[in-house]
Amino acid sequence: MEKIYDYIVVGGGIVGVSTAWQLQSRFPDKSILLIEKESGFSCHQTGHNSGVIHAGVYYAPGSLKAEFCKAGVAATSEFCAKHDIPVENCGKLLVATSAQEVERMQALYTRCHENGLDVELIDQHELKRREPNIVGLGAIAVSTTSIVNYRQVTEKMAEEFVDAGGEVKLSTEVTGLIESPERVVVSANSAEGAVTYAGQFLVVCSGLMADRLTRMMGIETDFQIVPYRGEYYRLPEKYNDIVNHLIYPIPDPDLPFLGVHLTRMIDGSVTVGPNAVQGWKREGYGKINFNLRDVLDMLSFPGFWKVSAKHLKTGLIETKNSWWKAGYLKLVNKYCPQIQVEDLEPYPAGIRAQAVLKDGTLVHDFLFAESKRSLHVCNAPSPAATSAIPIGGYICDKIMQKQQQDETLLKQHQKEHITVSEVA
């Protein structure tokens, strides 16, 4: 007889794994299947980021991002401490290097207090004392920012999921989704060939492919994933002690990107980046990337043209700096003048799965879509890695609420049916 899982989760990034793990923890007697198309976990956004446990500086008060991030700092730190995963609380400085950035810094400082964060505004003399190699007019000091290896965190969550009774299918790419009143059937290609799995409820955390799996389910939406490449460099080992904190510029509030920064990594190295250039392949991590299907999807989507036109100047500058290393370096030399072009050594790029609406609006917060038997995470922007544990808990809560509502409606329907039968 065909096995019908209670829950099927698609996506082996940190959000999908966190959700599967927490579902299994809440319902140890339920059967839960986690499907991932790659041969391991965290192969895309989770494994190609800066490894920062963000404090929640940038996010609008009351937004899901602000709420999740603040809860995520504590939850991630607790999880890592429990499982002996290295974490370094190095703190972060957001450095202002112009009068405009000083003005933006003041607004950002106010937002930090609205979000209840432990921050300090320091002048250029204090900045120089704390960071002798950094120049600026002032900075926001954030004490609660840390660094970690998110691949390691994800793998430990997956281990916990399996130990609790969960089942994992790696190298299994979803090719079809069919929902009926009784179940959801997932078709996939695996190392053994074509396979199908049936579940009572489906959760999709597919990141760069979120829009495609939503459409595969037959759910009408007005967004599309537009990929943006974040390109990094690594500094030579002699610069491993060039900074004591993470060093970030003051960001442009109109853009969802944080600017090129210096990041201390948990392995002791220091990276520079990322920028934000248009991607022409959703999973394109090399220097030259192109995928015909990905490009055609973008070019046929009205939102792509509208968002590109709105940010045309920024996009052209980012593209120029992507190919001209000296231009990229200028973004770093604003606050760290001693780094030279030859110090920018190769490092893997990342791809940001940015949800864009048809009118060209960039979706800054979390976005969900659903059907009777499914819930899709359509946009999980930074700080999704930091917030993975509270996001997973939130998804579990939404699933429970949805299923309880369905059960209530079913009981009401059955009661009405009985009443009508008695009258007849």
pLDDT in tens, 145-166: 999 999 999 999 999 999 999 9
Residue 203 lies in a domain: yes
Sign of CA pseudo-dihedral 127, 146, 258, 133: positive
Alpha-carbon distance 195 to 172, whole Å? 9
Residue 321 lies in a domain: no
Structural domain that includes position 396: 1-86+148-222+358-424
Q: How long, in residues, is the chain?
A: 424
Q: What is the DSSP letter of 343?
A: G
Residue 393 lies in a domain: yes
Number of domains the chain is built from:
1
Residue 356 corresponds to which tokens in the numbers above?
Answer: 């864009």
Q: Give me the residue label for tokens 């990034």.
A: 13
Residue 66 lies in a domain: yes
* Cis status of the peptide bond prior to 383, with omega within 30 of 0: yes
Task: Write the CB contacts of 119 (distance below 8 Å, at least 6 apart in sequence).
Answer: 55, 57, 109, 112, 113, 140, 141, 142, 143
Nearest to 248 by CA among 54, 115, 383, 117: 54
Burial of 243 by CB count in 10 Å (0-12 exposed, 13-18 middle, 19+ buried)? buried
Q: pLDDT band at residue 423, thresholds of 50, 70 and 90?
A: very low
CB 184 within 8 A of CB 203: no
Residue 59 lies in a domain: yes
CATH of the domain at 402: 3.50.50.60
Q: pLDDT band at residue 382, thresholds of 50, 70 and 90?
A: confident
According to the model, what pLDDT value does residue 405 have? 82
Residue 188 lies in a domain: yes
Q: How do residues 251-288 score in pLDDT, each as one tens digit?
A: 887 776 788 999 999 999 999 999 999 999 999 998 77
Task: Strands of 289-392 (E only): list them.
Answer: 345-346, 350-357, 367-371, 374-379
336 phi, psi to nearest 5 deg: -140, 85
Residue 307 lies in a domain: no
Residue 418 lies in a domain: yes
